[in-house]
Chains A and B, each alone.
Chain A
Amino acid sequence: MSELQLKSTRFREEREAGWRKLESLLVKVERGSAAQLSDDDLLAIPVLYRAALSSLSVARAISLDRGLLDYLESLCARAYFVVYGVRGSIWSSLARFFLDDWPAAARALWKETVVATLLLLLGMAVGYGLVVSQPEWFDAFIPPALASGRDPSASVETLRHTLYAGGQNQPLSAFAAYLFTHNAGIALLAFALGFAFGLPTVFLVVSNGCMMGAFVALFVSKGLGFQVGGWLGIHGVTENFAIILASAAGFHIGWATAFPGQKARLDAAAAAGRRSGALMGGVLVMLLCAGMLEGLGRQLIQDDLVRYAIAGATLVLWPAYLYLFRGPRTKLERAGG
């Protein structure tokens, strides 16, 4: 009877054990329990994967069994994604992100960062200048819902109270958490809008700057300039730096989409998107820090000088970390190149 057995059937009988073994290992890896695999098993995966690939090539040539071909295709694809998939544990990739990827991305986008900073400063100057010369402009920059009574008609006492209210009359820390999610939304928007050649990002940055300038102008006009500086600076330095970086990432994408250079537009956009993606991860971390400073720090610290000290510290530490710090991998690359 054996002469009646098909070549493809014999082929399958010979190789099947290897496929099954690979499949059982893949299931373990996909369940996230790769740590439980023995060293032998981990070393076996690439070998079994290559054997499965060779089986697939042979099967495509000699077998007409659709069930077998589908199985091998799916097995090889799964193994391919394990062998060439996201590498390392979540912890090692987090470490790499903080030590190398984030600062490297920030350094790579320094030109865009300068542009975004200038735009934000421009917005602040415009907002400040207009409100100082004509207080009616305040309403144009800050919607009444956000101002919540802090407008030119408010008394000095009310305004002073808003700067130092420790949450007695309204849940300010909850408001800060809300503000954080709101600011993170703005940052993500500034990034994502870069897709439209970066023009909406410009608008967003300038208008954000205008709002802040108008806000400061209001307090300055009531003789509370020094105090509002501490109130804003304690978290505002971190927050605005984050928004600047997000806009820089947006500009980077916008520029790459508008002027792809030698590459195809789709490829240029993808490359820019990946480069700025790391930066955006960092932006979210910064916003989280800003949210903490705003919600907790500002409530607990009522002294203007301490507030200024923290603002100054963040003003030095963030750029020092992003532009001066070199991670182990970056150093290695520099030494190699």
Chain B
Amino acid sequence: MAEALTAKKAKAPPKVKAAPVARAAGPDAEVRSLVTPEGVDLRLRLADVGQRLSALILDELLMGAIFIGLTIAGLLGLFAVHNKGGGEALLVLWLLAGFVLRNFYFIAFELSARAATPGKRRCGLRVAARNGGRLTADAIFTRNALRELELYIPLGVLFAPTDIAGGWMKLSATVWCGVFALLPLFNKDRLRAGDILAGTWVVKVPDRRLLRDLAQGGVYETSAIRFTLAQLDAYGIKELQVLEDVLRRFDRKAVQVVADRIRQKIGYARGEESDGAFLSAYYAALRQRLEARALLGRRRLDKHDKG
């Protein structure tokens, strides 16, 4: 219970610090500002608990596969060696390999340039220092040394034979495990005990590709579709970006529905053009209008924003 107490107490100060920044619930609740020495806020996103859990499961599966591979290799070696001394040496090697795998798998991968294990990479996550500084080897070591306490030892007791660990022991192990396993759910920054001690957190670094600029080339410049200012003032930035999403996915049904909805809203009489051409042209025109207004300092956030 003392652990929970520590975590709770430890959690309090940053909350006070963060208070002046009003943070809306929803997608922005997971954005944390990280200001680079050059003075640009990178607005990192925290990894959500589901992603971290799936990364952990992937890593454990991979470790399991490696361990099974080692065991099979060891058994094959045992058949090949035959004599007792060799077999014993293999057993020692096997035990040590298991230990190295369990303790250094996470450390070695997180020390690499990507600061992420294969499971984290797959989920687009990485470890970063909370203070925005350099991620140090000590921090990585600390955050993974605590994994022993948070995960392996309680699991070990939980699955231990009943004659070694009785019911009470198992119950306390379950409670213990619960306190640590659920810790990331109960603090704002989704820190586990290892993150708290190491001064790290896990953030998303999605590997995004540069997508086509939807306003460039194609329909808008060549088509005869023109919109009046009143038609372009029907929407704001939020709607523009929803439209961008629709155009990038280009689901035929959605395009048709959205095109009809916009035509109706801005009172545009349907002409010869296809729905896709209409939406592309409207997107480009709307973006030009909104960007021009934004340059003059009037960012229109959504259609309800009259500024």
Q: Is A112 in the interface zone, CB < 8 Å from B?
A: no
Q: Is B63 in the interface zone, CB < 8 Å from A?
A: no
Asked whether, in the complex, the Cβ of A280 is within 8 Å of the Cβ of B142, the reply is: yes
Minimum CB distance partner of B199 in chain A:
A270
Q: Is B114 in the interface zone, CB < 8 Å from A?
A: yes
Minimum CB distance partner of B124 in chain A:
A74
Task: Enumerate chain B residues within 8 angstroms of A62, measured Cβ to Cβ.
Answer: 291, 294-295
Q: Is A248 in the interface zone, CB < 8 Å from B?
A: no
Contact of B88 among A4, A16, A34, A167 (CB under 8 A): A167
Query: Once the chains are docked, how many angstroms separate the CA of A240 from the CA of B294?
Result: 67
Grouping DSSP codes into helix (H, G, I), strand (E, B) and loop, the A interface class, with mixed when no group exceeds half, is: helix
Query: Once the chains are docked, how many angstroms separate the CA of A4 from the CA of B284?
Result: 9
Q: Is A257 in the interface zone, CB < 8 Å from B?
A: yes
Q: Which of A167, A197, A281 has the most CB of B within 10 A?
A: A281
Q: Is B208 in the interface zone, CB < 8 Å from A?
A: yes
Asked whether, in the complex, the Cβ of A76 is within 8 Å of the Cβ of B42, the reply is: yes
Q: Is A129 in the interface zone, CB < 8 Å from B?
A: no
Asked whether, in the complex, the Cβ of A50 is within 8 Å of the Cβ of B38, the reply is: yes
Contact of A67 among B138, B207, B244 (CB under 8 A): B244
Asked whether, in the complex, the Cβ of B213 is within 8 Å of the Cβ of A192, the reply is: no
Asked whether, in the complex, the Cβ of B207 is within 8 Å of the Cβ of A6, the reply is: no
Stretch at the interface among A182-190, A221-229, A326-334: A182-190
Q: Is B130 in the interface zone, CB < 8 Å from A?
A: yes
Asked whether, in the complex, the Cβ of A1 is within 8 Å of the Cβ of B153, the reply is: no
Task: Enumerate chain A residues within 8 angstroms of B248, measured Cβ to Cβ.
Answer: 67
Asked whether, in the complex, the Cβ of A177 is within 8 Å of the Cβ of B95, the reply is: yes
One digit per residue, 1 when the CB lies within 8 angstroms of any chain B CB and 0 when it does not, for chain A 288-309 equals 0001000100000000000000
Contact of B141 among A61, A173, A280 (CB under 8 A): A280
Number of interface residues of A (CB under 8 A): 89
Task: Enumerate chain A residues within 8 angstroms of B42, measured Cβ to Cβ.
Answer: 73, 76-77, 80
Q: Is B245 in the interface zone, CB < 8 Å from A?
A: yes
Query: Once the chains are docked, how many angstroms separate the CA of A262 from the CA of B132?
Result: 21
Asked whether, in the complex, the Cβ of B210 is within 8 Å of the Cβ of A32, the reply is: no
Interface residues of B in 91-150 (CB under 8 A from A): 91-92, 95-96, 98-99, 103, 111-115, 126, 128, 130, 133-142, 145-146, 148-149
Query: Once the chains are docked, how many angstroms separate the CA of A65 from the CA of B240?
Result: 9
Query: Once the chains are docked, how many angstroms separate the CA of A271 from the CA of B36?
Result: 21
Q: Is A209 in the interface zone, CB < 8 Å from B?
A: no
How close is B128's CB to chain A, nearest CB, in angstroms? 7
Minimum CB distance partner of A174 in chain B:
B91
Number of interface residues of B (CB under 8 A): 84
Query: Once the chains are docked, how many angstroms separate the CA of A81 from the CA of B125?
Result: 12
How close is A93's CB to chain B, nearest CB, in angstroms? 5
Asked whether, in the complex, the Cβ of A278 is within 8 Å of the Cβ of B141, the reply is: yes
How close is A7's CB to chain B, nearest CB, in angstroms? 6
Query: Once the chains are docked, how many angstroms separate the CA of A272 from the CA of B198?
Result: 8
Minimum CB distance partner of A88 in chain B:
B137
Task: Enumerate chain B residues within 8 angstroms of A73, measured Cβ to Cβ.
Answer: 42-43
One digit per residue, 1 when the CB lies within 8 angstroms of any chain B CB and 0 when it does not, for chain A 192-234 equals 1101110100000000000000000000000000000000000
Query: Once the chains are docked, how many angstroms separate the CA of A189 from the CA of B146?
Result: 8
Q: Which of A173, A178, A192, A271 has the most CB of B within 10 A?
A: A192
Known: A85-B135, A265-B12. A5 touches B216 (CB 8 A): yes
Asked whether, in the complex, the Cβ of A101 is within 8 Å of the Cβ of B115, the reply is: no
One digit per residue, 1 when the CB lies within 8 angstroms of any chain A CB and 0 when it does not, for chain B 28-64 equals 0000001011101011100000000000000000000
Asked whether, in the complex, the Cβ of A6 is within 8 Å of the Cβ of B2, the reply is: no
Q: Is B241 in the interface zone, CB < 8 Å from A?
A: yes
Query: Once the chains are docked, how many angstroms separate the CA of A189 from the CA of B148?
Result: 8
Query: Once the chains are docked, how many angstroms separate the CA of A159 from the CA of B108?
Result: 43
Query: Once the chains are docked, how many angstroms separate the CA of A101 from the CA of B117?
Result: 24
Minimum CB distance partner of A29 in chain B:
B113
Asked whether, in the complex, the Cβ of A185 is within 8 Å of the Cβ of B153, the reply is: yes
One digit per residue, 1 when the CB lies within 8 angstroms of any chain B CB and 0 when it does not, for chain A 272-286 equals 111111101100100
Asked whether, in the complex, the Cβ of A9 is within 8 Å of the Cβ of B215, the reply is: yes
Known: A81-B205, A167-B88, A191-B145. A269 touches B213 (CB 8 A): no
Contact of B294 among A4, A64, A80, A267 (CB under 8 A): A64
Stretch at the interface among B3-11, B260-268, B270-278: B3-11
Asked whether, in the complex, the Cβ of B111 is within 8 Å of the Cβ of A192, the reply is: no
One digit per residue, 1 when the CB lies within 8 angstroms of any chain B CB and 0 when it does not, for chain A 234-269 equals 000000000000000000010001000000111101
Asked whether, in the complex, the Cβ of B103 is within 8 Å of the Cβ of A274, the reply is: no
Q: Which of B14, B138, B206 has the most CB of A within 10 A?
A: B138
Task: Enumerate chain B residues within 8 angstroms of A180, measured Cβ to Cβ.
Answer: 95-96, 99
Asked whether, in the complex, the Cβ of B198 is within 8 Å of the Cβ of A274, the reply is: yes
Asked whether, in the complex, the Cβ of B145 is within 8 Å of the Cβ of A30, the reply is: no
Interface residues of A in 76-112 (CB under 8 A from B): 76-78, 80-82, 84-87, 90, 93, 97, 101
New A-B contacts (12) at CB < 8 Å, excluding given A6-B291, A101-B138, A174-B92: A5-B221, A32-B113, A64-B287, A68-B211, A76-B40, A78-B205, A80-B42, A81-B128, A191-B145, A195-B146, A266-B11, A280-B141
Q: Pull 11 A–B residue pairs with CB atoms less than 8 Å apart, ordered by A.
A: A6-B215, A16-B210, A32-B113, A62-B291, A62-B294, A77-B203, A171-B88, A180-B95, A185-B153, A195-B197, A273-B142
Please list the residues of chain B having a beta carbon within 8 angstroms of any beta carbon in chain A: 2-3, 6, 9-14, 34, 36-38, 40, 42-44, 88-89, 91-92, 95-96, 98-99, 103, 111-115, 126, 128, 130, 133-142, 145-146, 148-149, 153, 164, 193, 196-199, 203, 205-216, 220-222, 237, 240-241, 244-245, 248, 284, 287-288, 290-291, 294-295
